[in-house]
Amino acid sequence: MKNVLVTGGAGYIGSHTCKALAAAGVQPVSFDDLSGGDEALVRWGPLVVGDLRDTARLAATIKQHAVDAVIHFAGRIAVGESVAAPWLHYGANVAGSLSLLEAMRQGGARHLVFSSSAAVYGLPDVPWVSEEMPLQPISPYGRTKLMIEQALRDYAAASEQRAIALRYFNAAGADPDGETGELHEPETHLIPLALAALDGGKPLTVFGDDYDTPDGTCIRDYVHVTDLADAHVRALAALESGDAPAALNVGSGRGYSVREVLTVIEQVVGRAVPICMGQRRAGDPARLVADARRIRQALDWTPAHSTLPEIVASAWAWHRGGAKATRGQVEAA
Ligand code: UDP
């Protein structure tokens, strides 16, 4: 069986991708420091606990498992944290990724699927953001992603290494079988925070309703994490066939406002999310929706699960079941 190294395989998108790889007949070998992930989510292959900046350990793992392809999720994701503590983001996302690229060189692994982000676009003032838009990140987090995208192009020009950067819009939802889901600590994302508010947590703070959008709240493009995982499996195949674009948006192409998300949650769960209105969050664009035509064509990818009701229903099922079980919060019956 072919082995693929998955950095961040114990994380949210990483664990869903491990499941998708295993279903495609590929063994995922997770490499994770468990700082943001959970060992309990590594269910489809071995786990190596290690730091991305340990180049020798990574190279040894690549050689030991005869890895030719890597999917690189590991890194820090909170935009606010990147402003307050940029060294954490440059350290993990830039130094960590460069260490991985060096380990791939030493270990002879050629192909890389890189977790990039719509944050590389900054504040695009267009209804649908295509890959050709100027790359003007406004946060240290976004800059770390752009720096690595640039490094990948330079490495590809000078060596056998080939990469695809997948620019995620808003990953959401959970595995339809309930085997994995979102477990961020601390949680900062809209849907899990809204579900926690419904389940006795503190009311959700809506970050502003004075944006230039129809209902005043921010519009985002939510992609089901299972569809996102599928995009990675397809990106690997495209790298192997030698026909891979450098960067692809991964989005549904459909935007929902915060209020629309809350309405769908109310419809799915049957109760209204308790909210309080807050200030705008720094760095939030009013609207961020993918022009997702290129990935559909390049990878023959269709977001099969990315309607908002399906995203919310799967996230709610995970919140009520798997997430609590994994955190050990399920009360003895
Ligand atoms: N949001 C919010 N309250 C929260 C978290 C998020 O109103 O507690 C809004 C946020 O301003 C954005 C949308 O929900 O418009 C999605 O935010 P999230 O943090 O989930 O993802 P991001 O768009 O930052 O990647």
**Which residues are tagged catalytic?**
141
Q: Say how far apart CA 72 and CA 245 lie, in whole Å.
A: 17
CB 99 within 8 A of CB 33: no
Q: Say how far apart CA 164 and CA 149 lie, in whole Å.
A: 9
Q: Say how far apart CA 89 and CA 72 lie, in whole Å.
A: 15
Residue 188 beta carbon below 6 angstroms from any ligand 1 atom: yes
Give the CA distances from residue 260 to residues 60, 137, 216, 221, 319, in Å, rounded to whole numbers and listed in that order: 48, 27, 11, 12, 20
Q: What is the pLDDT along the chain (333 residues), one digit of tens a residue?
A: 799 999 999 999 999 999 999 999 999 999 999 999 999 999 999 999 999 999 999 999 999 999 999 999 999 999 989 999 999 999 999 999 999 999 999 999 999 999 999 999 999 989 999 999 999 999 999 999 999 999 999 999 999 999 999 999 999 999 999 999 998 888 999 999 999 999 988 999 999 999 999 999 999 999 999 999 999 999 999 999 998 999 999 999 999 999 999 999 999 999 999 999 999 998 889 999 999 999 999 999 999 999 999 999 999 999 998 777 777 665 433
How high is the pLDDT of residue 203? 97
SS3 state of residue 196: helix
119 secondary structure, DSSP code: G
How high is the pLDDT of residue 329? 60
Q: Which of 82, 190, 221 is the pocket-test mutation for ligand 1 (most atoms within 8 Å of CB)?
A: 190
| Domains, the chain, ordered by start | 2-171+222-251+291-303 (3.40.50.720)
Q: What is the DSSP string of 97-115?
A: HHHHHHHHHHHT--EEEEE
- Which ligand 1 atom minimizes the distance to the CA of 169? 25
- 287 Cα: distance to centroid of ligand 1 (angstroms): 11
Among positive and negative, which fits the CA dihedral 260, 264, 270, 276? negative
Residue 196 beta carbon below 6 angstroms from any ligand 1 atom: no
Considering only CA atoms, which of 250, 320, 328 is closest in space to residue 292? 250
Q: Which of 116, 189, 288 is the pocket-test mutation for ligand 1 (most atoms within 8 Å of CB)?
A: 189
- 170 Cα: distance to centroid of ligand 1 (angstroms): 9
6 secondary structure, DSSP code: E
The CA angle 297-299-305, to the nearest 5 degrees, is 95
Residue 184 beta carbon below 6 angstroms from any ligand 1 atom: no
Residue 204 beta carbon below 6 angstroms from any ligand 1 atom: yes
- Which ligand 1 atom minimizes the distance to the CA of 170? 25
Distance of CA 141 to the CA centre of its chain: 13
How high is the pLDDT of residue 62? 98
Q: Say how far apart CA 164 and CA 46 lie, in whole Å.
A: 24
SS3 state of residue 200: coil
Q: Which of 187, 258, 273 is the pocket-test mutation for ligand 1 (most atoms within 8 Å of CB)?
A: 258
- 295 Cα: distance to centroid of ligand 1 (angstroms): 24
Q: Say how far apart CA 64 and CA 86 lie, in whole Å.
A: 34
How high is the pLDDT of residue 331? 44
Structural tokens at position 121:
């676009």
Give the CA distances from residue 295 to residues 219, 250, 320, in Å, rounded to whole numbers and listed in that order: 21, 7, 33
Relative to beta strand 256-257, strand 219-220 is: antiparallel
- Which ligand 1 atom minimizes the distance to the CA of 191? 20
Q: Which residues fall within 8 angstroms of residue 204, CB to CB, at 6 or more apart? A: 190, 193, 194, 197, 262, 273, 274, 275, 276
- 190 Cα: distance to centroid of ligand 1 (angstroms): 5
- Which ligand 1 atom minimizes the distance to the CA of 217? 15
- 281 Cα: distance to centroid of ligand 1 (angstroms): 8
Q: What is the DSSP string of 241-290?
A: TT---SEEEE--S--EEHHHHHHHHHHHHSSPPPEEEEPPPTT--SEE-B
Residue 150 beta carbon below 6 angstroms from any ligand 1 atom: no
Residue 218 beta carbon below 6 angstroms from any ligand 1 atom: yes
Helices (H), 1-93: 12-23, 55-64, 79-84, 86-89
Shortest-distance Cα residue to atom 22 of ligand 1:
170
